[in-house]
Amino acid sequence: MIGKCVRVLFPFTDATGSKDRPAVVLSNLDVRGDLDLLMITSKDHPGDGITIRNEDYQVGCLNRQSAVRISRPLRIHISKVTPLQIEFTREFVASLRKHVIRNDTREYSKLAHQNNRPGADPARPAFQPGQTIPYAGRVFTEDEVEAAVSSTLDFWLTLGPEGEAMEKELAEFMGVKHCLLVNSGSSANLVAISALTTHKLPAHKRIRPGDEVITVAAGFPTTVAPILQIGAVPVFIDASHHTGNADCSQLEAAYSPGKTKAVMLAHALGNPFDLATTLVFCNKYDLWLIEDNCDALGCTYTLPLELAKQLGLDHLIKIAEKGSHPMIKIAQPLNSRNDANGNGDSSILSCASRDSRLSSSPDLQPSTSRPSDSSTLFLTAPTGSFGDISTQSFYPPHHLTMGEGGAVNIIRKPALKTYAESFRDWGRDCWCASGKDDTCNKRFQWQLGELPAGYDHKYIYSHLGYNLKPLDIQAAIGRVQLKRLPDFIEARKRNWEQLRRGLHGLEEYIDFALPTHATAWLPPAEENEESRKLKAEINENELSAERSGSQLSTFPISEFSWDDTQCRSNCSWFGFMMTIRDNAPFTRTELAQELDRKKIGNRMLFGGNLVRQPAFVQLKRDNPNAFRVAEEENSESRKQKAEIEETETSAVPTPFQLSTSSSSPLPGADRIMNHTLFLGTYPGLTKEQIDYMAKVIRDFVAGKAELGNAES
């Protein structure tokens, strides 16, 4: 009976009675003699009707254009139907079944996953104090669940059409040549740096065992582990607790002529590292730059256009000149494009307009230390698009999720795609996609290595590779998440801003993170009638956006004072980082314990000072030359070393030890290890949750300060 067209008396939904209608049979008879049917209608039902095409008929056809109602399934006894001399193809019936399953999946997800909806979603349950507030998590709706189930029903499984589509969409979003999906951000880092070891590169560019790669001491271990896994030597520079990022002023001290081949740094917690300084350094010595962008998808970095030209960022300049990319732009300084009323380019506002208009592109903020010349132009582009290769992670806490997953971004050199793809896909020389053959048109005409001529190219291996591909089901989820990314980015900025304002006044005891190149956070101006109107406008815009399901309106982000480099960073915050000051009447651990008691998720800055982690301590014991720490050899550091040698009575630290004195070569990383933690900013947080987080911290600090005053 499957695929038969029948007539049946469909019951009305708004009154007693029924109407004679055609229907398509979805099932064979069950033990009770019942059939599953879907109603056929000639009326238009947008979003519900699946149009019947001529090719969907196996036998006969209906006498008018018709559609199948997916939302009106019916189970009915065989005695109540009248067969017609019409039959549909099995493929069409299967597609109807799939639509029904997808529709049911959406309804299930709405019931089961309310707590995973975006924080601003009206369907999100209200927060009650005492409930757990995670630092991060999956944020999704029925759209992602439907996409996953739909892909599962297709049962392609291995990376296929969904993966191919996502790679193209992600590359377009990032403004890069190619993206390769992998099974994690850690795998992405491994593939990225492995690609630079290929024998197909010029000898002076190839990273070989014993070559050095400069990286940062504070961060996540799998930014560094791949350097060791390819046999190279990590050279650690220090980090700043103000940004969480590498202290790029130490790059020169870390450089070894003839040994240094690359720089591999992460944009920490959604805060771009100093790209201008790093790019100048890499250009000077012809080094690779690998951007670990796993925590920073959606961040942008701005630098003078003239500097961008000198650094060879032509790939970004060309995109910006087309004017079609939402994040890659060339613009004049703020104060030369707008007056106080916001006239001029609506996407860039002048300093004078900070309390009178919303800014939809806060990438460029005026320097309080040195105004830009009005003739200067600036280039803004996403992090992960400046170096040679960059990486992404799509683990649940990150800016979008595929469950497990990641990506390698080939920024401007297409040949690197072939090398990276080879390492991802078993090390094979063939570049055919899964399920495809002979795209090179000479599959049996190759002779490589010592193999016989004509050996199948699909089984020729030019590298010692891995299998690090994700599933197509994951890519189906990722494609839906990618559409949400602009909203997710704005939510992260908005949540950081709400926390920062909520904790304003605690600067005596807590150093709050700053965007790279910022020198201070500027508190909001005192509220007046104009700012109250702005706040009301913001709230109304956000409510309208939520009701319509459109992107959230842009939240007015903080103003900062900036250094005189003319470079700016616009953060898509992964977390809200705080470093406890030495004069605080509490420790980082005490604050973390209080947050845990209140069920507020918090984390250290990942591995802290990685050099002090057990794995690296043991590594140094086993091989004292496995890595090294860059120390500036200036008169001051030499003086400190001499003083240490004179005054220390204990044995000289063994090669795997770092001095715990104030002369540690990594004082910034040590400070992060001992005093820093971060809270969540992920888009699943609600305004009420963030207000509660701020209140808990304020109450804790006030209590500790009061106790300290009483004791003194």
Q: Rounded to whole angstroms, what are the CA distances from 244 to 120, 273, 582, 628?
A: 28, 9, 18, 20
- Non-local (6+) Cβ contacts of 82 within 8 A are 6, 7, 8
Q: Encoding tokens for residue 139?
A: 């944020």
354: in domain: no
Sign of CA dihedral 452, 455, 459, 463: positive
Helix axes 472-502, 161-174, angle to 10 degrees: 40
Query: Are residues 377 and 492 part of one domain?
Result: no
515: in domain: yes
Among 677, 156, 657, 227, CA closest to 433: 156
123: in domain: no
**Residue pLDDT, tens place only, 172-220:** 999 999 999 999 999 999 999 999 999 999 999 999 999 999 999 999 9
Say if residues 239 and 224 touch (Cβ distance below 8 Å): no
CA gap 60, 55 in Å, rounded: 11
Phi, psi of 208 (to 5 degrees): -120, 160
Query: Are residues 690 and 560 part of one domain?
Result: yes
Give the global pTM: 0.87
Please report, for the domain that includes residue 580, its CATH number. Answer: 3.90.1150.10
pLDDT of residue 165: 97
Query: What is the pairing mode between strands 676-680 and 260-266?
Result: unpaired
CA gap 223, 217 in Å, rounded: 10
603: in domain: yes
Query: Are residues 377 and 501 part of one domain?
Result: no
pLDDT of residue 141: 98
Q: Which residues pair with 460 in a beta bridge?
A: none
CA gap 362, 324 in Å, rounded: 18
131: in domain: no
CA gap 279, 274 in Å, rounded: 9
* Total of domains in the chain: 3
Please report, for the domain that includes residue 88, its CATH number. Answer: 2.30.30.110
Q: Which of 381, 402, 435 is the last residue of a domain?
A: 381
Residues of the chain below pLDDT 50: 335-371, 374, 527, 545-554, 633-645, 647-656, 659-661
pLDDT of residue 549: 45
pLDDT of residue 530: 52
- Catalytic position from the list 267, 398, 517, 675: 398
Q: Which residues pair with 49 in a beta bridge?
A: 69
340: in domain: yes
Q: How many CA atoms lie within 13 A of 305 on its CB side?
A: 19
Say if residues 408 and 183 touch (Cβ distance below 8 Å): no
Is 463 labeled as catalytic in the residue annotation? no
Place of tokens 């707008």: 338
- Mean pLDDT of the residues in the chain: 87
**Residue pLDDT, tens place only, 146-163:** 999 999 999 998 999 999
**Residue pLDDT, tens place only, 4-58:** 999 998 776 555 667 788 999 999 999 999 999 999 998 877 778 999 999 999 9
Structural element, H or E, at residue 84: strand 81-88
Query: Are residues 705 and 560 part of one domain?
Result: yes
CA gap 363, 494 in Å, rounded: 15
Q: What is the extent of the structural domain holding 22?
A: 4-93
pLDDT of residue 251: 98
pLDDT of residue 711: 75
Phi, psi of 291 (to 5 degrees): -95, 115
Q: Which of 93, 119, 143 is the last residue of a domain?
A: 93
| Strand arrangement, sheet containing 378-382 | 329-331, 378-382, 300-304, 568-570
Centroid of chain to Cα 28: 47
Say if residues 237 and 630 touch (Cβ distance below 8 Å): yes
Query: Are residues 498 and 377 part of one domain?
Result: no
pLDDT of residue 551: 42
Phi, psi of 218 (to 5 degrees): -105, 130
- Non-local (6+) Cβ contacts of 640 within 8 A are 663
Phi, psi of 361 (to 5 degrees): -145, 85
64: in domain: yes
463: in domain: no
Q: Which of 60, 75, 93 is the last residue of a domain?
A: 93
pLDDT of residue 354: 32
CA gap 461, 426 in Å, rounded: 8
Q: How large is the C-alpha radius of gyration of the chain?
A: 30
Query: Are residues 340 and 489 part of one domain?
Result: no
pLDDT of residue 72: 82
pLDDT of residue 623: 97
**Residue pLDDT, tens place only, 622-664:** 999 999 999 754 334 344 444 444 544 343 333 445 544 457 8
